[in-house]
Amino acid sequence: NNTGLRLFRQAKPAIDPRRRKAARHRAAGRRISALVLIAASAILAACDDAPPEDFVSTPSTAFTDHESTAIGQQIAQLARQHPGKSGFEIIRYGRPAFTARIALTDLAEKSLDVQYYIWQADPTGRIFADRLVRAADRGVRVRLLLDDINLGGRDAILAAVNAHPNIEIRLFNPFARRKLRGLDFLLDMGRVNHRMHNKMMIADNSIALVGGRNIGDHYFQVHPDSNFRDLDIGTIGPVVREISSVFDRFWNGEWSVPVEAIVESPVTEDDMREAVATMRSRIANDTYPHPLDLDVQELHEQFDGVLEGMHWANGQIVWDDPSKILEYTGSGEMFEALHEKIGTLEKELRIESAYFVSLDRGIEAARSLRDRGVRVSLLTNSLVANDVLAAHAGYAKRRKDLLEAGVEIYELRPDPGPVDQKIISMKAQSALHTKAIVFDRKDVFIGSYNLDPRSAAINTEAGIYVESPEIAAKVIDYMDEGIDPHNAYRVSLDDQGDLKWTIELGDEVIEYEKDPKSSWWQRLVAWFIQILPVEHQL
């Protein structure tokens, strides 16, 4: 302690200055040596945690006889009325989005293929996991593919659930050092920096949900403190088989590791039942804000009408091959496809993107669209609403350039507007997590892809592209709700060319000269990140 240190210093005899200097050098050398030894020991210890490289991964593919199940037969009858097309519908809000996922676990007879970037250990995550187990208990084969980025400390529970005879869990690009993950970023950055950002769920190879939502309270608007605005698209018909093929490509690749390969000892089915019992006990003690069982029952009763109300159109899954993680190419398939599509626009481009980091090529594209008379509108997060400060810094660095290039910019307010208050029924902070684009009010993209360098070149992404003015109109209505002055700031330039933010509170119009509701510290950190050479990592 400090008192002991002072007493020790007072008791030391006088030392010649030259001897004191030599002693300091020797002490510094010993400290460096000690640090090297500690680091070496940590690295060696971490290496002991590395999973075996010769793990066995049994290939499997999507359920093929998709017309043999009850849901498959019903959808096949509808699909025959629309040859070559698929059915689509968007899911705007968190409550119906989670209800849809739970309903699919109930309806599935043969298979559930589930792929997510984040799965939180919260009430939503536990409920969804329990429903997958219940489906597996009925004989449904469950394949669960998770990115490993947020699974630290959860190997045991994953391995326990994986012990179910009808459940298999794989981790995408797992960290080798299970207990010292930070070392992987230091020693293996080129590999672990690449993540699987995809979000999709497929039931019986007949119906699929794709979009921006991960699994967790924040994504379904039930968290008491902060919630995301997000968007999913549900689909039936031929495009579902394409989505299943994408899932199989990720599932069977060398980058997806069975969870049993990363745990130290085998797990039994008894361990699984004990873990599930513990999980269900926690669920019983959780307080969920919606009557989920009643919601699911209502959706089941309305399911025929939901299917018949789908909009049939040409559509496809747009995705990055997981081999993208093996090397840095500068951009992926999705980036090039979307950029090519933007070049064909004639009237309007509407974008809603949680993280929007535009590099030189993006600014040039915006100017080109402006010069051709194409309106470009963007809704993204404000500084206080953004949950990733570095991403906001990358966006803010080019914000003025975007405005000068003719882009209309709106930033979501952190305080929920009237719409969010009605949906959430609680005073929680709002944030944007949507990734959606509407092209010329005719075509739509909804998925996991943010318009930033990380989505373009580092992570894998997936989304649905639909050629449907009807779906486009629904997404535009959703976007208009987001940019409503009660829900978003309008960002523009004043007469001096400086940024200003405008909102409406009732009949009152308020202007800000700095990022609204932000602290000087938030602005300082964002500014500091802007001057760092990290733009291509954001």
Question: In this structure, what DSSP letter does residue 535 have?
Answer: G
Which residues lie across from 441 on neighbouring strands? none
Task: Please say if 435 is a catalytic residue.
Answer: yes
Q: For the purposes of burial, counting CB atoms within 10 Å of the CB of 57, is it exposed (0-12), middle (13-18) or buried (19 or more)?
A: middle
Instruction: For Cα atoms 45, 48, 52, give the angle at the middle one, nearest 5 degrees.
Output: 160
What is the residue whose two structure tokens read 């509170």?
505
Q: Please compute, for residue 532, the number of CA atoms within 13 A of its CA located in the half-sphere on the CB side.
A: 14
Whole-angstrom distance between the N-terminal and C-terminal Cα of the chain? 42
CA distance 261 to 526: 40
Task: Please say if 517 is a catalytic residue.
Answer: no
Q: Which two tokens stand for residue 209?
A: 């949900």
Task: Please say if 300 is a catalytic residue.
Answer: no
What residues have CB less than 8 Å from 430, skipping those under 6 apart?
226, 227, 229, 385, 412, 413, 414, 415, 416, 417, 420, 487
Amino acid at 83: P
Of the listed 110, 197, 392, 397, which one is catalytic?
A: 197
CA distance 72 to 63: 11
- Burial readout 16-41 (b: 16 or more C-beta within 10 A, e: otherwise): eeeeeeeeeeeeeeeeeeeeeeeeee
Task: Please say if 204 is a catalytic residue.
Answer: yes
Contact predicate 63/204, CB 8 Å = yes
Of the listed 85, 194, 435, 474, which one is catalytic?
A: 435
What is the residue whose two structure tokens read 């914000």?
399
Of the listed 113, 155, 184, 204, which one is catalytic?
A: 204
CA distance 1 to 6: 9
CA dist 526 → 520, 530, 533 (Å): 10, 6, 13
Task: Please say if 197 is a catalytic residue.
Answer: yes
Task: Please say if 440 is a catalytic residue.
Answer: yes
CA distance 467 to 396: 32
Q: Which two tokens stand for residue 95?
A: 């409550």
Of the listed 106, 122, 295, 440, which one is catalytic?
A: 440
Contact predicate 374/345, CB 8 Å = yes
Of the listed 164, 223, 433, 474, which one is catalytic?
A: 433
CA distance 522 to 524: 5
Give the SS3 label for residue 342.
helix
Of the listed 66, 164, 194, 199, which one is catalytic?
A: 199
Kindly list the catalytic residues: 197, 199, 204, 433, 435, 440
